[in-house]
Amino acid sequence: MITKTPKPPYYAVIFSSIRTEGNNGYSAMADLMVELAKQQDGFLGMESARNDLGITVSYWKNLEAIKIWKDHAEHKIAIEKGRSDWYKSFKTRIAKVERDYEFEK
């Protein structure tokens, strides 16, 4: 469940969000977006957790891969529905991972 990413540098898109009430088709679209993201060139993986605040971090090979995914036709529809229906607020941060380290028992 913790994404195996290659050696840095690579990119992280940190998406923090507060949902509106109700599902309104959100879950089906979220599942579809995960499937579509996995098919993108340069996609390295994704981690997600949600309580009141949701955090999804997707990992990408480079900025170009992030831009192509941002402009993907079905993703653009999802982004639009996110603004109109699913999110009270969100913040997206695009960050270059410079170092990482891990621990496993």
Cα separation of 17 and 26, whole Å? 13
Asked if residue 7 binds a second copy (CB under 8 A), the reply is no
Show Cβ contacts of residue 37 under 8 Å, excluding neighbours closer than 6 positions: 43, 46, 58, 69, 75
Which C-beta is closer to a second copy: that of 73 or that of 103? 103
The only residue of 23, 24, 27, 48 in contact with a second copy, by rule CB under 8 A:
48
Query: What is the β-pairing status of strands 10-19 and 43-50?
Result: unpaired
Is residue 14 within 8 Å of residue 55, measured between CB atoms?
Answer: yes
Tell me the site size for a second copy, rule CB under 8 A. 42
Is residue 96 within 8 Å of residue 9, measured between CB atoms?
Answer: yes
The only residue of 47, 64, 74, 80 in contact with a second copy, by rule CB under 8 A:
47
Asked if residue 77 binds a second copy (CB under 8 A), the reply is no
Least distance (Å) from a second copy to the CB of residue 32?
20
The only residue of 57, 58, 65, 69 in contact with a second copy, by rule CB under 8 A:
57
